[in-house]
Amino acid sequence: MRVLLTGGAGYIGSHTALALLNAGYDVVVLDNLSNSSPEAFRRVEALTGKKAPLIIGDCTDGDTVRAVFENHGPIDAVIHFAGLKAVGESVEKPLDYYQNNLDATMALCRVMPEYGCRALVFSSSATVYGVTQEMPLREDFPTGCTNPYGWTKWISERILTDVAKADPSRSFVLLRYFNPIGAHESGRIGEDPAGIPNNLMPYICQVASGKLDHLRVFGNDYPTRDGTGERDYIHVMDLAEGHLAALDYALKNSGVEVFNLGTGTPYSVLDIVRAFEEANGLTIPYEITPRRPGDIAVCYADASRARDVLHWQAKRDLKQMCRDAWNWQKHNPRGYGDK
């Protein structure tokens, strides 16, 4: 069974590639390396002892995608990670985000049937739920977004739904990820953000390593247990394993299905700081600052649908997420070093 991973050199893609190779799948990666390093993929090969071609190219270009199917087929399924993902940047450069993220989805939709490939797993996001009061979030809740990045996920979900409606032989699984953190247990692959991290865990890791001075906690006046924002953090290897379950489902079924991939447990920013300190025996200096514009108070999943239908649930706890995040940072202070 051979699977094409678009964006497979990135954070979630590289961890999923590792899980797929270890499970006996053949993997082909198409990545333009706009936010990743080929070193990630070399390490995946070293960790698994298996070879997987990394094709450096753009997924928005139909001919490039076609050449991958032509030269590296037969491809049985696609996991589509490729996309730009920085919320703030998407507000500044909306056209770049719409063009990259939507053209990539559409190019795949066009080329796959030319090669008889009908199954695709899509990286969507909890951000498509927009601002809603009711928690935990269930897949059938209303959707809507607050920034261009989110809309690219929302519109991609729409495109895939319409394409599957027009051709019922297709099989698309839309995965709405919550907050992936952590790294593979080996510490050889992990998250390598360019510049100053936007997200909480990579920021904490850089404070722990001394690269950044202290954490700014964005607001302690939310209506939550301790006043700081609560999120559903999920270990990236649990997320990777969720893709294996989704892939299996996509190959055996047709139509469109949506699943939350989260743990169902919310943790506050201060919970994360404390858990990181305890797991790693370190102190994370922080100050409370005003809220970050666009943030919501609480966001966590009802994870029961993935459990009941995909027979998957997250296994790794917060301590392990914190330990593995630091293990990666500690051993790779410059990330993959060549970005």
Binding to ligand WQD in span 246-305, by CB under 6 A: 269, 292, 295
Q: Which of 26, 13, 5 is nearest to 120 (CA)?
A: 5
15: CB partners within 8 A, 6+ apart: 183, 184, 189, 236, 237, 239, 240
Name the residue nearer to ligand NAD (CB basis): 129 or 249: 129
CA distance 125 to 105: 15
Give min distance, CB of 212 to ligand WQD, in A.
9
253: CB partners within 8 A, 6+ apart: 171
Between strands 215-218 and 54-56, the pairing is: unpaired
Does residue 176 belong to the site contacting ligand WQD (CB under 6 A)? Answer: no
DSSP letter at 139 equals T
Does residue 151 belong to the site contacting ligand NAD (CB under 6 A)? Answer: no
Q: Is 149 a catalytic residue?
A: yes
Does residue 89 belong to the site contacting ligand WQD (CB under 6 A)? Answer: no
> By the 8 A CB rule, do 160 and 176 touch?
no
What does 31 bind: ligand WQD, ligand NAD, none (CB cut-off 5 to 8 Å by kind)? ligand NAD
Name the residue nearer to ligand NAD (CB basis): 84 or 273: 84
Of the candidate residues 90, 123, 206, 268, the single one contacting ligand NAD (CB under 6 A):
123
Given the rule CB under 6 A, which of 74-82, 138-146, 211-219, 305-313 is the region that contacts ligand WQD? 211-219
What's phi and psi for 55, nearest 5 deg? -100, 120
Give min distance, CB of 309 to ligand NAD, in A.
20
Catalytic residue among 11, 25, 149, 267: 149
Between strands 230-231 and 267-268, the pairing is: antiparallel
Q: In the 3-class helix/strand/coil scheme, how is 73-130 assigned residue by residue?
A: CCCCEEEECCCCCCHHHHHHCHHHHHHHHHHHHHHHHHHHHHHCCCEEEEEEEHHHHC
Does residue 322 belong to the site contacting ligand WQD (CB under 6 A)? Answer: no
Does residue 244 belong to the site contacting ligand NAD (CB under 6 A)? Answer: no
Contact residues: ligand NAD, CB under 6 A: 6-7, 9-13, 30-36, 58-60, 81-85, 100, 104, 123, 125, 177, 180
Contact residues: ligand WQD, CB under 6 A: 85, 87, 125, 127, 179, 198-200, 203, 215-218, 229, 231, 269, 292, 295
